[in-house]
Amino acid sequence: MELNKIHNMDCLEGLRLLPDSYIDLTVTSPPYDDLRSYNGYSFDFENIAKELYRVTKDGGIVVWVVNDKTKNGSETGTSFRQALYFKEIGFNLHDTMIYAKNNPTPCKANRYQPSFEYMFVLSKGKPKTFNPIMEDKIYKESRKEKWYNKNIDGEQLKAKVSQSDKKLRLNIWNYSVGKHHTTKDSIAFKHPAIFPEKLAEDHILSWSNEGDIVMDIFMGSGTTAKMAKLNNRKYIGFEISQEYIEIAKQRLI
């Protein structure tokens, strides 16, 4: 199947055409709950999950960005059931990350304003690639050594203190959303549920290397493909809506 192309087909059909152990990284966001009928098309989660496992390379990663709908006053819990099913078929739940929205859409309800989604990082065995994102420390430790608690013999423990001005990013990632934040491509907002370009880019940089194959099985407006291309990765994806494919093509020019 041709790389660097978004294929106009059902994702399950497309996945079945891929060879075993082919994909380095998948970054995708499925339809949520009552959106199982995506633009009039069905979403077969369990078979899609099995195919994702088959086509992922050993050490490869699937980033599954998902959230729950609230029905009859209760969150559905579908996201957790999906994560557990991924474990059941062989994936490791490597990390449960949070995509926090700095400026979420206001809502009227008898609960606190929802402002995050889950990013389940699923690995096929031990991850083969991890390029950690480092951030500036708020302050830098000025001491070269630091005293810690006493050991069982009563001796006070001393250890070297890192002088680095960088620290490993936490697993809660904050992004501003909406126009001029999620993307500057105004045409992308014709799709109802796009995630920030920076979110896709940060995962691509973290879990893949240049030349790797990055996939999005619900390509939508093409965010994952765009960021893979900009970061010298190959991409492949599936999108059943021709309308959304035309949007993605314009973003990939």
Listing from the earlier edge strand, what are the strands of the sheet with 56-66? 5-7, 234-238, 213-216, 23-28, 56-66, 116-123, 92-101, 172-175
Helices (H), 141-196: none
Question: Is residue 167 pLDDT above 60, yes or no?
Answer: yes
Instruction: Tell me what the pLDDT averaged over the chain comes to.
Output: 86
Q: Please identify which residue in the block is written with the tokens 């549920």.
A: 193
At how many degrees (to 10) do helices 45-55 and 78-88 cross?
40
Cβ neighbors of 51 (< 8 A, separation 6 or more) are 12, 15, 16, 18
The sign of the dihedral angle between the CA atoms of 228, 229, 232, 238 is: positive
What mean pLDDT do residues 53-72 have?
95
Q: Residue 104 CB: number of other CB atoms within 10 A?
A: 14
Question: Measuring CA to CA, which residue among 93, 100, 224 is closest to residue 170?
Answer: 100
Q: What is the DSSP string of 180-193?
A: TTS-S-GGGGGSS-
Greatest Cα-to-Cα distance within the chain, rounded to the nearest angstrom: 71
Q: What is the 3-state secondary structure (H, E, C) of 61-73?
A: EEEEEECCCEECC
pTM: predicted TM-score of the whole model, two decimal places: 0.84
Render pLDDT for 99-156 as a digit per residue (tens, 0 to 9).
999 877 777 778 888 899 999 999 999 999 999 999 988 765 555 555 555 666 666 6
Report percent pLDDT > 70 for the chain.
Answer: 79
Question: Is residue 14 pLDDT above 80, yes or no?
Answer: yes
pLDDT at residue 84 in the model:
98
What gap in Å lies between CA 17 and CA 197, rounded to an integer? Answer: 28
